[in-house]
Amino acid sequence: MARGGANLGRGIEHAVAWTIRNLDGVVALAAAVTIGTLDIFGNNFDDNVTSGATLLVLAALVLGTLTERRRRVADIRAAMDGTRHALEDLTMVRSLSGAELESALDRARRSTDRWVFKGGTGTYLRAVTLPECVEIARPQRRSFTVKIDIVNPADEQACAAYARFRQTFSHRLHTVPGGSWTTERTRKESYATVLAACWHRQRLDTLEIEVYLSSTVPTLRFDLSSTCLIITQDDPQRVNLMVERDRPLYDYYVTELHQSREQAHVLQLNRTLPLSDEPTVDETVRLFEQLGLPLPSAFTDRDVGDIIDKALHAENPYRR
pLDDT for position 182: 95
Q: What is the DSSP letter of 225?
A: -
pLDDT for position 97: 81
pLDDT for position 160: 97
pLDDT for position 320: 59
166-175 contact pairs (CB < 8 A, 24+):
166/120, 166/234, 169/234, 169/235, 169/236, 172/235, 172/236, 172/237, 173/236
pLDDT for position 16: 63
Longest dimension (CA), the chain: 116
pLDDT for position 114: 95
pTM (2 decimals)? 0.71
Q: Among residues 108, 211, 95, which one has the least CA distance to residue 152?
A: 211
Burial class (CB in 10 A: 0-12, 13-18, 19+), 65: middle
Q: What is the DSSP letter of 272?
A: P
Q: For the chain, which residues score pLDDT lower than 70? A: 1-11, 13-91, 170-178, 236, 320
pLDDT for position 234: 78
Distances (CA, A) of 231 to 93, 167, 221, 250, 278: 10, 20, 6, 11, 32
pLDDT for position 139: 85
The partner residues of 241 in beta bridges, in order of sequence, read 95, 231
Q: 260-273 burial, b if ≥16 CB within 10 A, otherwise e?
A: bbeebeebebeebe
pLDDT for position 38: 59
CB atoms inside a 10 Å sphere around CB 167: 13
From CA 23, how far away is CA 66, in angstroms rounded? 10
CB atoms inside a 10 Å sphere around CB 217: 19
Tens digits of residue pLDDT in 51-88 = 555 555 555 565 666 666 666 666 666 656 555 555 45
